[in-house]
Amino acid sequence: GAGVSQTPSNKVTEKGKYVELRCDPISGHTALYWYRQSLGQGPEFLIYFQGTGAADDSGLPNDRFFAVRPEGSVSTLKIQRTERGDSAVYLCASSLLSEDTQYFGPGTRLTVL
């Protein structure tokens, strides 16, 4: 079956602009995670959804970052007033239940000029 998909695969934007990154989890997976991976680093946790609600958003770096999952499936990560330091690969993962294996998508490569 289909894995986790993320769109767009690449996004180039200018400093100060607003961006939305989309994640389509594996069908039926209740848990969804967002991570950020900077060059040469491992993924860093941003936010985790169980169903429609954010169960843990302790990794969001500041209030410019926000994520939603209104119907418990697709999730959107929103970044306001982008900064050059936001440039990274944004990874999404999903799992059937919270305690199960996380399956990662290919990521969205965000470049802020």
Partner 1 sequence: QKEVEQDPGPLSVPEGAIVSLNCTYSNSAFQYFMWYRQYSRKGPELLMYTYSSGNKEDGRFTAQVDKSSKYISLFIRDSQPSDSATYLCAMGSGGSYIPTFGRGTSLIVHP
- 25 is an interface residue for partner 1 by CB under 8 A: no
Q: Is the peptide bond before 8 cis (omega within 30 degrees of 0)?
A: yes
Q: Which of 93, 94, 110, 112 binds partner 1 (CB under 8 A)?
A: 93
CB 38 within 8 A of CB 88: yes
Q: How many CB atoms lie within 10 A of CB 64?
A: 14
Q: Which stretch binds partner 1 (CB under 8 A): 13-21, 60-68, 79-87, 91-99?
A: 91-99
DSSP three-state, residue 90: strand
Q: Which stretch binds partner 1 (CB under 8 A): 11-19, 35-43, 63-71, 79-87?
A: 35-43
Closest CB 81 distance from partner 1, rounded Å = 26
